[in-house]
């Protein structure tokens, strides 16, 4: 059903979970990763979307659903969660006070339900547009999910259901990687970002004059040296903050 309020942390958490399921389901559906019968139709405002079934018969899709449920366990325990498509969750220690992510303003800002719904619909629309402009996936691809968190807020013995401790490695793309800032969603208690990274060689439709433009979403195309520098900075930061990763089975 349609959520009519986001006044409490519990309501905000339910909303964020739904948006993650919608976004991940949309990515896998539009990229043709799972069979059609792995999804059911739902509506977000006037958008018809496909959502993964919890009881789907496809073993791979069912495993992804279990991974999502495992990540929600970590989310409920207020640990920071980041997926490979970079859904970022932030928790405020001061209740409704928050940093507005799409600007550099910090303050006691109240986000209305209408604001959140508009941002959610816009994010999914942009995601649809981007997925339709990427080249079809080759055969033999595989799907994995990784969760990142900080030791200072996570018990050392904690493992989200369906995950195990992993090494803090980096993603490397063949050639230049292009980063898309698809959208941000804010509630009073949570924030969610969706970032997509793809090899430039997969963007043939965009380079041929596809329907996606820089006005639709922010795009960044760093050089290889910038990517390597960013990876080095990430590794250094990981050592300082002791950030660990949970890698799916």
CATH number assigned to the domain comprising residue 128: 3.30.900.10
The per-residue pLDDT for range 54-82, each reduced to its tens digit, is 988 999 999 999 999 988 887 887 644 33
56, HSE (Cβ side, Cα atoms, 13 Å)? 22
Q: Which tokens sit at 206?
A: 């965009």
Residue 199 domain-assigned (yes or no) = yes
Give the residue among 245, 236, 240 at the shortest CA–CA distance from 83.
245
> For residue 199, what are the domain limits?
9-248
- Domain membership of residue 244 (yes or no) is yes
68 occurs within a structural domain: yes
Q: Is residue 3 one of the residues assigned to a domain?
A: no
Model pLDDT, residue 66: 92
Domain assignment of residue 111, yes or no: yes
The DSSP-derived string for 117-150 is HHHHHHHHHHHHHHHHHSPPPPTT-----EEEEE
What CA–CA distance (Å, rounded) separates 128 from 125?
5
In a domain, 4, yes or no: no
Q: Report yes or no on 70 lying in a domain.
A: yes
The pLDDT value recorded for residue 133 is 85
Pairing of strands 218-220, 243-248: unpaired
pTM exceeds 0.85: no
Give the span between the Cα atoms of 198 and 182, in whole angstroms: 13
Position 2 in a domain:
no
- In the chain, the number of structural domains is 1
Q: pLDDT below 50 — which residues of the chain?
A: 1-2, 79-84, 95-108, 214, 222-249
């Amino acid at each position: 059903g349609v959520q009519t309020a986001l006044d409490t942390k519990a309501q905000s958490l339910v909303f964020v979970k739904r948006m993650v399921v919608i976004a991940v389901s949309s990515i896998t559906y539009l990229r043709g990763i799972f069979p059609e019968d792995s999804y059911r139709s739902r509506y977000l405002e006037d958008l018809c979307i496909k959502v993964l079934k919890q009881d789907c018969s496809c073993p791979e899709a069912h495993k992804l659903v279990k991974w999502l449920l495992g990540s929600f366990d970590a989310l409920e325990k207020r640990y920071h969660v980041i997926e490979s498509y970079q859904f970022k969750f932030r928790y405020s220690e001061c209740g409704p006070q928050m940093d507005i992510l799409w600007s550099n303003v910090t303050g006691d800002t109240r986000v209305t339900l209408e604001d959140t719904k508009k941002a959610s619909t816009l994010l999914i629309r942009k995601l649809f547009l981007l997925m339709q402009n990427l080249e079809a996936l080759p055969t033999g691809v595989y799907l994995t999910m990784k969760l990142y968190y900080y030791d200072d807020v996570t018990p050392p013995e904690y493992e989200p259901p369906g995950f195990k401790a992993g090494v803090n490695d980096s993603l490397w793309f063949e050639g230049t990687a292009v980063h898309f800032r698809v959208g941000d969603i804010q509630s009073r208690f949570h924030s969610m970002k969706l970032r997509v990274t793809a090899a430039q060689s997969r963007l043939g439709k965009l380079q041929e004059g596809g329907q996606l433009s820089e006005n639709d979403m922010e795009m960044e195309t760093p050089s290889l040296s910038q990517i390597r520098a960013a990876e080095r900075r990430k590794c250094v930061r990981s050592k300082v903050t002791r950030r660990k990763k949970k890698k799916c089975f």
